[in-house]
Structure 1
């Protein structure tokens, strides 16, 4: 469980990521230099701004809808562009903070070097040969970690051999306002503001103050020309911290970073390291994965990826990639993180900030996908920052619901920011995703269904989702042709369609896109069941139950595909990267192979059609979605193929997934974290599913993982599952209940009921299951 490399890392895309849930660093370098590209989760440009719209609410909404019902899509979209598009204003973005640059004497760029990131310890280590040929046995050893308990990035530098260590440390800001000051002979402090002009006006953003403190044994330390210079030390330690004024009303934050690095130095690196590993392993150590070793595990990661790309067999690389996703989750999102992870997790090389993209919260799959594996991967605590963010989003979304639509409750659209932006995007074709807020809020339901905490249901999940339900009850309308209760005008992110036989113009807006209806069916059903479980809201429950009866059914189109829209429109982009209308298959559960075989066939046809065209967009999140959807259809080999392609073709050398240049206007290959997290979620779906009132063991095991074991996966109902398999067949499974559990366990076509009290467990072999015929 190490990402190991031989040779230098010339840049960010070869560097290795560290994080403590707030501070992030990507570490790269060679024998004479090392760079820490520092990010901070709340270092956002922009500011909070009230919604602004020319919409008159329900009267304008009704007029727009009449145009769409009459088939006048052009005028309907023109009206929506005037009334239901927000201005970007000071939306902002999460920015890179600074670079910590180390320059070493006595090294050579070309000298031998090894680098590794231990997933079991969350520690980066680099070793490089220093000195000339006569002293080629000397090693410069650098070890770096991001401590959550101490809230610092800490490093230990030493040399094996008689010669001392001499290096210079500089801070280089990533934003225009960045000032560095000496604070004695062993510390630099800095002050900066998160400003930029692509996503805001260049004047607004959070303020940050930070410090870097160096301690050395032997030798000397001095500040010279704005840098810390260490000469002839036996060994040295570096401590870095940063703090911002995000959501802070006092001034105490201004001194916290400097105080923190001093406290870490007083503890000493060994104690900081020990506490860091213990804290990290409390989360990481819950799950172990072994998919079988073909012998490739001894090779460097980049070589293993090249062999996989050439058709090689390396099942353990997939286990490593899965655990890497869990590592990134722990590094990027902790229980006390002030914000959830954005499009790039908590890491950012600045590429996305220089173009129309933003390191923000995309609510039309990307932010959700960041957290898709959280519960199943036994990292429920890492989900909590998103829970709190959704609650704040709901508060902000009340004004958007009122001002744009004249409705009660709350809504949000295609994306959001640190300030709780909930308006539509600045072009209706992608920005009028009226269920974006509901999609992200569905993670509240996921958190409850896995943990079964009634207090969380009562105090968080139900209040937020109830207000979302009130919005849609007020907002939706009965379709005059079908009598169905529908949303609209809304889009199916971020796709478009043709009407009739004409392909002269494509359209994005319509009434009742499939994704909207799938999300709302889940919302209404959950709120009705939750209100009964909690013994509250009986009048609302009755309204929801009546509304559910009026929702459109999932439909199969003329090509045998699951329809993306209410009408069977022609697809303007049949190879589109988004699979939003398959929500009912994954992550929803309205489509299952055993429960809805016809709709499952239609979902398979949709996936096949998306993959058929030569113009299929190579996108990291799409590959992860393909894998998860195939897993839900019990197609393990096809899911494996998607993951293999993702690892082999859409990962940088550091195994961070990327979106190719040209996709959605990207100017270069850009890291996007959802591929890493989506792949981890897909692996879980291949090995364990618990979404259809049953726990399904090994539902989509691929041939390549024919022998293996996994422990600690989590199932809905607050249970944990361990499994061992050989020759592609289950050997043994153990299910541990952390709450009363009564469910059906499935293996292939065989099932058996189990009933466990909290704290009980059961071990099952393949022979314990009865066939469905025997059950009858």
Structure 2
């Protein structure tokens, strides 16, 4: 009854009802039933577009100084006009991630007694149904260990497995053919003409093989047909030419399939489960069980949407499903990070003004919010490598657009580390986009305390970012503060005091810019001191920190989003970037900055109460995380309930409503799943601001429960058991030595811990037992 499963008692009619599998590179959304089944195949590197130089029309510092003066003078119209002239490059072959192909299986059976299950515990998807007095079973998984997708189909009759299989391409340049009677080969290219010229993109080549027990297999006209078998196993593998030289990639999928066949399906499955569980089983979470837990998942979601909130295990399932999605899309050897849709692709975001890309003004960052606290640190590594490459490419953007040293990236990026401003300054001139995503380097270090990573990766990359901002920023003539700009506050607008009532997007010193830069400078200073290096830089950082503007409270009691107390042009806006210092950063805390915490709470209230509030997945996840940081468990719970009940498909994947940012259709976006997972973790455990805070935002609905394996900053792992709203016992396993303030409710206690020790703590925060690991 308490198994972590998504379960359905009918066929899936379309993509948004399908169930996802993935291995960190290759993925499928699986939907259908007894009559037919579709595997919508996606792959992280299957991108249209190409690497190309972006031309700048800026002469460097001279132009930037003239541009800034317009904003200092209050001439926003002239400033925005000049910004579009020199900092708005033409959109080239930026590209987008695309679906690769569909594997189509046709069974021709009546939709009778169909049951579909995705077992989160072992990452295996199963489907069963009755046919002709027998039962037909299918199970499939995407193996990270062996780099392919495998599916076994069997029947309770000795000759009960019959079906046909063919492929349809996700792009125009796709073809498949019968390599042998039991093998389909295919090749394609990721081409589209919305985000590129339709002529450039990554190529793929792969195979589908079928092996049977009993019956026969035949193939012609691009189809494989199985007739009268007892069992059939399908193997699918593909490789792309992304970031490779030569032609060796052309044989990679064949090699993987040969090795998989030599292992056999049973061993493949066992290796897959073992590999997956090494990461998944690190964390357990339990909020209690009710009879609702046995209902199909779609019914459970519907009941929650109708206000029937008697299913605490659904929240635990949503949390573990978020971790599952991470393990499907972000393994330690993944070639690229998670994109806007994780590793899947509904063929909607990539076909409109949006792109299935790397949005660096919240979406990509939120994808990685649960990585460290959710005990999946290895899954951060593909992003770490990507940020290093982004920094390399960003040196050209810093020099060409601003005449500055160091590196910079803006609002969006792609498979080739695009770092220039995007093609519309109102949203594309977010000068701290690259810095925002690079903050994950700091996050990874704070949770792991890996000094080698700090020395070789985090500090070098963040140091060069600091060098850019030290070179780029200017003293505001009115305030004497060191400010960034022109830049925006993603992706919002305001009314300037210029008498026009025309919404403006660009200004100097937006709150997001300033807090990201403050955190950057302070981290680099601390790291340089720890590493005993760059003494001159340390002096420059100290001087700059003294000149940075403070967080400010506006006339309505809210946290100001800009340097000036502007009137919001879109008070209903979906972005909450100016609350970054509350969550996920830690400059604002109820215990240490109560006035700013009240202002942050007021900001949330004003945003929610606005007419036509943009109620979408990442906003709700951000609300939940912010309320958790304010120690408001009831409000955080309310947001998570809304996310699951109102903004999830029946397969628990989150979506964005039509009409947001020009979207015409309801669109799957991964950040709601990842952000919601992280927010639940923040409700249970927080480790910022020098504290280890147990159950900081526990809602009354989770009065009794437990979690095990959540990670904390300072290289610790934490387990907690509670009953009737109070801690029974906590366990802290330390992987490094340090000191924190242990907090539970209003109670605090200094906590000194040593690497290799395990601490048993009671509900009064008293250490009851200390053992060695």
TM-score range, shorter chain: over 0.9
Shift of 1:489: 0.6
| Alpha carbons of structure 1 residues 758 and 228: separation in structure 2 relative to 1, 3 Å | same
Aligned counterpart, 2:278: 282
Equivalent residue in structure 2 for 1:705, among 697, 702, 706: 702
Q: What CA distance in whole angstroms lies between the structure 1 residues aligned with 2:388 and 2:236?
A: 32
Shift of 1:124: 0.2
TM-score when normalising by structure 2: 0.98
Shift of 1:51: 2.2
Aligned counterpart, 2:47: 44
Aligned counterpart, 2:771: none
Do 1:17 and 1:25's aligned partners in 2 also have CA atoms closer than 8 Å?
A: yes
5 Å-filtered alignment, 1:204-603, equals: 204-312=200-308, 313-500=310-497, 502=499, 504-603=501-600
> Where does the alignment leave 5 or more consecutive residues of structure 1 unmatched?
771-776
Q: What CA distance in whole angstroms lies between the structure 2 residues aligned with 1:369 and 1:758?
A: 30
- Equivalent pairs, count: 763
Equivalent residue in structure 2 for 1:101, among 99, 104, 107: 104
Shift of 1:749: 1.0
Q: CA RMSD in A?
A: 1.0
Do 2:363 and 2:618's aligned partners in 1 also have CA atoms closer than 8 Å?
A: yes
Aligned counterpart, 1:120: 121
Shift of 1:592: 0.4
Q: What CA distance in whole angstroms lies between the structure 2 residues aligned with 1:572 and 1:544?
A: 35
Do 1:747 and 1:769's aligned partners in 2 also have CA atoms closer than 8 Å?
A: no
Q: What CA distance in whole angstroms lies between the structure 1 residues aligned with 2:665 and 2:711?
A: 37
Equivalent residue in structure 2 for 1:88, among 70, 79, 91: 91
Per-residue Cα deviation, 1:164-215 (whole angstroms, up to 9, x for no partner): 2111010111111111122211111111111110100000011110111100
Shift of 1:503: 6.2
Structure 2 counterpart SS, 1:34:
strand
Do 2:158 and 2:229's aligned partners in 1 also have CA atoms closer than 8 Å?
A: no
Q: What CA distance in whole angstroms lies between the structure 1 residues aligned with 2:584 and 2:380?
A: 16
The answer to whether 1:65 aligns with 2:68 is yes
Equivalent residue in structure 1 for 2:12, among 6, 9, 15: 9
Q: What CA distance in whole angstroms lies between the structure 2 residues aligned with 1:240 and 1:573?
A: 48
Aligned counterpart, 2:130: 129
Structure 2 counterpart SS, 1:336:
coil
Shift of 1:502: 4.6
Shift of 1:250: 2.2
Aligned counterpart, 1:155: 151
Q: What CA distance in whole angstroms lies between the structure 2 residues aligned with 1:494 and 1:377?
A: 29
Structure 1 counterpart SS, 2:99:
strand
Structure 2 counterpart SS, 1:492:
coil
Do 1:213 and 1:262's aligned partners in 2 also have CA atoms closer than 8 Å?
A: no
Q: What CA distance in whole angstroms lies between the structure 2 residues aligned with 1:602 and 1:275?
A: 51
Do 2:742 and 2:765's aligned partners in 1 also have CA atoms closer than 8 Å?
A: no
Q: What CA distance in whole angstroms lies between the structure 2 residues aligned with 1:7 and 1:502?
A: 59
Q: What CA distance in whole angstroms lies between the structure 1 residues aligned with 2:736 and 2:658?
A: 47
Structure 1 counterpart SS, 2:91:
coil
Aligned counterpart, 1:773: none
Q: What CA distance in whole angstroms lies between the structure 2 residues aligned with 1:252 and 1:499?
A: 58
The answer to whether 1:642 aligns with 2:639 is yes
Equivalent residue in structure 2 for 1:144, among 118, 140, 161: 140
Structure 2 counterpart SS, 1:264:
helix
Shift of 1:160: 1.4
Q: What CA distance in whole angstroms lies between the structure 2 residues aligned with 1:500 and 1:54?
A: 29
Per-residue Cα deviation, 1:7-35 (whole angstroms, up to 9, x for no partner): 01011000000000000100011112111
Q: What CA distance in whole angstroms lies between the structure 2 residues aligned with 1:120 and 1:635?
A: 31
